[in-house]
Amino acid sequence: MTPKEEMQDLIRYNEWANARIVAVLGELPDDVLGAPVASSFGSLRDTLAHVVLAEWIWLHRWTSDSPGSAPEWLKTASREDLVKKLREVEAERAEWFAQLPAEQLEAPRAYRNLAGQEFSHRIADQIRHVVNHSTYHRGQAATQLRQLGRVPPSTDFILYRGETP
């Protein structure tokens, strides 16, 4: 596998794993999705919103300017809105990645965090960060699901590898 193919595989894994969590969250009544559950974010809805927000921010860092704040849509987004936005981010990211020359993966890309601090890291490392970040919060969502008496889906990479060509 080339380095670009490896990054593509990580992106696909992330989308596959997010889809598995989203499928379970889609089965929950709204009151359960919004129920207070101890974690970094106060509910499953808020955890999903954070994952969507982070993936949206990183996409914008790669394709335009670094956002200076969370978008307005985040405050009132329903589950359906969040899932729709996640799918939009995935589609836009796929388009961007398909056009990205392979050598650019090793190039540093500057960005600003929401506090306005400037950083610069290789694009490949930024992609790895996005996947790792979403993995971390999917783990939190799994714990929240268990606290609510639900069974979370497995999102292990090795399961992805076994299910996908």
Domains of the chain are: 3-163 (1.20.120.450)
How high is the pLDDT of residue 113? 96
The yes-or-no verdict on residue 20 having pLDDT over 80 is yes
The mean pLDDT of 104-127, rounded to a whole number, is: 97
For residue 114, pLDDT over 90 is answered with yes
Label residue 9 by pLDDT band (50, 70, 90): very high
3-state secondary structure of 42: coil
% residues pLDDT > 70 (the chain): 100
In this prediction the pTM is 0.95
Are 47 and 94 a contacting pair, CB within 8 Å?
Answer: no
pLDDT number for residue 158? 96
- DSSP result, 70-122: --THHHH--HHHHHHHHHHHHHHHHHHHHHS-GGGGGSEEEEE-TT--EEEEE
Asked if the model's pLDDT at residue 131 lies above 80, the reply is yes
pLDDT at 157 over 90: yes
In this predicted structure, the answer to whether residue 165 has a pLDDT above a threshold of 90 is no
Average pLDDT over residues 80-90: 97
What is the tens place of the pLDDT at every residue in 36-65?
998 999 999 999 999 999 999 999 999 988
